């Protein structure tokens, strides 16, 4: 509750510039908002973190990098590599703080979803290549919405970053936010974007990925039905599909991931004040 109140206070502040940004939380799995120290204010600079290009937006008055921080990033001082509009190369430091995530233990009845067989592994590797390419999508867009609507209505069940243990075996941390929406209820695009991948995947079930611009990509998993196609342009609020429990899921819910510069980050950081006010805790 304190976390939600802090986010709401931040997003409801009087600064129009700040209110347009995601909540800054420079931790593993979080977002760093870094005003760039460049004197060339006309052309957009290019900024890179861990060799991945990051979002840069025009602030008031300077350019600002919006940096997604991978969950496996070590706390401490890190640097952005910046090329200014006049081709000057500079580096800029920022601090990443530590954050501890809780542990979640889950029992899966379908043991293949925990220990895939050789054929399953071939499929998983093939699907992984498709999703990695979608998460790496990049196109320049200046009118990016950095505050999202909730894509589905329901209480939040599993938060981002949980260190997951399936049937007693440690697995990758939870890279999204689970919304325990009613089976068959609609899933809406939280902001405008273009569909870059759809498919039925071994772990994620029926899945769609949307590119919102400048390395901001969202993913929607375990759907009963997908109603969009690859390449389709979506407006905020368009229906993507319907809630189900396909793939590795213990019940109907939406797994929603937000990726920034190919780093999975906490979707809560992108929710608008109106969406935060509607958040239910399970």
Per-residue pLDDT, 206: 98
| Number of separate domains in the chain | 2
Verify that 90 and 188 share a domain, yes or no. Answer: no
Structural domain of 51 = 2-96
Per-residue pLDDT, 262: 97
pLDDT tens, 78-97?
999 999 877 889 999 999 99
> How many alpha carbons lie under 13 Å from residue 90 in its C-beta half-sphere?
12
Phi-psi region at 14: left, alpha or beta (left = phi > 0; alpha = psi -120 to 50): alpha
Do the Cβ atoms of 82 and 46 come closer than 8 Å?
yes
pLDDT band at 37 (very low <50, low <70, confident <90, very high): confident
From 62, 96, 130, the end of a domain falls on 96
Check which CATH number belongs to the domain holding 274 and give it. 2.70.70.10
From 96, 127, 146, the end of a domain falls on 96
Verify that 110 and 92 share a domain, yes or no. Answer: no
Per-residue pLDDT, 164: 61
d(CA 233, CA 196) in angstroms, rounded, equals 10
Whether residue 6 has pLDDT greater than 90: no
Give this prediction's pTM: 0.88
Verify that 86 and 116 share a domain, yes or no. Answer: no
Do the Cβ atoms of 273 and 11 come closer than 8 Å?
yes
Range in 24-28, 93-97, 138-142 with the lowest mean pLDDT = 138-142
Gyration radius of the chain over CA positions = 19
Verify that 56 and 29 share a domain, yes or no. Answer: yes
More confident residue, 100 or 225: 225
Verify that 27 and 128 share a domain, yes or no. Answer: no
Q: What is the mean pLDDT of residues 258-270?
A: 97
pLDDT tens, 173-218?
888 999 999 999 999 999 999 999 999 999 999 999 999 999 999 9
Token output for 234: 């979506």
Whether residue 49 has pLDDT greater than 80: yes
Question: How crowded is residue 200: how many other Cβ atoms within 10 Å of its Cβ?
Answer: 13
Q: What is the mean pLDDT of residues 72-76?
A: 96
More confident residue, 14 or 5: 5
Interacting residues of 178 by C-beta distance below 8 A, sequence separation 6+: 156, 157, 158, 159, 253, 254, 255, 256
Per-residue pLDDT, 72: 93
Per-residue pLDDT, 11: 39
Verify that 71 and 175 share a domain, yes or no. Answer: no
């Amino acid at each position: 509750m304190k976390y939600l109140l802090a986010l709401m206070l931040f997003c409801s502040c009087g600064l129009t510039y700040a209110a347009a940004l995601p909540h800054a939380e420079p931790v593993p799995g979080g977002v760093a908002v870094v005003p760039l120290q460049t004197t060339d204010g006309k052309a957009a600079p290019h900024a890179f973190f861990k060799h991945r290009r990051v979002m840069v937006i025009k602030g008031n008055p300077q350019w600002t990098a919006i940096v997604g921080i991978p969950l496996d990033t070590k706390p401490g001082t890190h640097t952005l590599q910046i090329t200014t509009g006049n081709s000057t190369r500079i580096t800029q430091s920022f601090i990443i703080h530590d954050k501890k995530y809780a542990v979640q233990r889950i029992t899966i009845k379908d043991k293949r979803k925990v220990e895939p067989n050789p054929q399953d592994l071939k499929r998983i590797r093939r699907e992984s290549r498709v999703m990695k390419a979608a998460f790496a999508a990049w196109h320049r867009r200046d009118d990016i919405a950095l505050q999202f609507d909730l894509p589905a209505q329901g209480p939040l069940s599993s938060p981002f970053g949980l260190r997951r243990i399936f049937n007693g075996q440690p697995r990758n941390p939870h890279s999204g936010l689970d919304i325990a929406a009613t089976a068959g209820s609609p899933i809406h695009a939280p902001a405008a974007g273009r569909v870059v991948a759809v498919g039925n995947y071994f772990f994620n079930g029926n899945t769609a990925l949307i590119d919102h611009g400048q390395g901001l990509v969202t993913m929607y998993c375990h759907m009963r039905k997908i109603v969009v196609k690859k390449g389709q342009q979506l407006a905020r609020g368009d229906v993507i599909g319907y809630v189900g429990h396909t793939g590795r899921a213990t019940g109907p819910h939406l797994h929603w991931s937000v990726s920034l510069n190919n780093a999975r980050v906490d979707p809560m950081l992108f929710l608008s004040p109106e969406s935060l006010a509607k958040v239910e805790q399970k």
